[in-house]
């Protein structure tokens, strides 16, 4: 079993003026997305402390990746838009074009975060800051994923050995945060304060949480009565690694 990790759900905005400005822009998008609902409502909906949400709304800090995805889910916003302001704000919007990382070559960028997904070995997420965007062509996305846009896609790094040989320490995975219906597949999830990547499979009496490295890690069965302990972030759709 991957060990429980501690996450830092805020990035301090007091270090630089540029950071404060960035947080302020995020706070505007968050306030607009609330559409009159209170920060207390949002805090209760995502399991955060009201003071934490209040800090986001004041532009003093911004959420880590797990809370960012949770906010996007309950507010029905695209996670990339909520984080960066780029692309359509809502999953159902059409006609909005993804930001071109290189318009001349018709690339589109998928946001990459500095948070790590633990796959054993004690990897942990201390911050969830937007690092950059990984460029892909729409043609590649259509061929591999059946879609030509980057909406709801994020890139993060895997840490640990529990998913070997499928995923290795240092692999870069693409997560579709709009695909959270659990069947037999690889998913990013939050469980016991840990941000993990595991194989999930529905069972008659609960949810199987499986590590592909079965020689070292046994599968775990989470009873139906404890199903709300797991927050599914999204499905792993693609992986890149150094060979």
pTM score, whole prediction: 0.59
Nearest to 190 by CA among 170, 171, 212, 175: 175
Query: Class of 26-84 per CATH?
Result: mainly alpha
pLDDT confidence of residue 200: 93
Q: Which residues, 6+ apart, have CB-to-CB distance to 131 below 8 Å?
A: 112, 113, 114
Question: pLDDT per residue over 43-54, tens digit each?
Answer: 888 888 889 899
Could you tell me the fold of the domain covering 108-240?
Umud Fragment, subunit A (2.10.109)
Task: Give me the residue spans of the domains in the chain.
Answer: 26-84, 108-240
Question: Which residues of the chain are modeled with pLDDT < 70?
Answer: 1-24, 91-105, 116-129
Per-residue pLDDT, 165 = 93
pLDDT at 108: 82
| pLDDT given for residue 119 in this prediction | 52
The pLDDT of residue 224 is 86
What are the C-alpha distances in Å from 76 to residues 41, 101, 175, 223? 15, 25, 17, 28
Q: Give CA separation, 218 vs 25, 117, 168, 212, in Å.
A: 44, 19, 18, 9
Sign of the C-alpha dihedral, residues 110, 175, 153, 114? negative
Please report the pLDDT score of residue 101 as a whole number: 44
User: According to the model, what pLDDT value does residue 107 have?
Assistant: 79
pLDDT at 128: 61
Per-residue pLDDT at 1: 36
- The confidence score (pLDDT) of residue 191 equals 80
Cα-trace Rg, the chain: 18
Can you tell me whether residue 210 is helix, strand or coil?
Answer: strand
The predicted structure's pLDDT at residue 149: 77
Two tokens at 223? 């009873």
pLDDT recorded at residue 177: 87
């Amino acid at each position: 079993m991957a060990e429980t990790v501690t996450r830092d759900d805020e990035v301090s905005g007091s270090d630089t003026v540029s950071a404060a400005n960035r947080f302020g822009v995020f706070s505007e998008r968050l306030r607009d997305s609330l559409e009159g609902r209170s920060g207390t409502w949002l805090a209760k909906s995502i399991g955060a402390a009201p003071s934490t949400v209040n800090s986001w709304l004041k532009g003093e800090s911004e959420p880590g990746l797990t809370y960012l995805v949770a906010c996007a889910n309950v507010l029905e916003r695209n996670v990339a838009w909520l984080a960066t302001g780029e692309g359509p704000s809502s999953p159902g919007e059409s006609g909005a074009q993804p930001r071109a990382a290189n318009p001349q070559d018709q690339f589109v960028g998928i946001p990459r975060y500095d948070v790590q997904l633990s796959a054993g070995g004690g990897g942990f997420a201390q911050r969830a800051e937007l690092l950059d965007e990984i460029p892909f062509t729409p043609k590649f996305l259509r061929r591999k994923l059946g879609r030509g846009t980057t909406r709801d896609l994020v890139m993060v790094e895997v840490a640990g050995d529990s998913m070997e040989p499928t995923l290795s320490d240092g692999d870069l995975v693409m997560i579709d945060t709009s695909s959270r219906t659990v069947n037999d597949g690889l998913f990013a999830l939050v469980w016991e304060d840990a941000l993990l990547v595991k194989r999930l499979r529905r069972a008659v009496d609960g949810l199987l949480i499986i590590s592909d490295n079965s020689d070292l890690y046994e599968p775990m069965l989470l009873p139906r009565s404890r199903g709300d302990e797991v927050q599914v972030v999204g499905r792993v759709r693609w992986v890149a690694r150094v060979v």
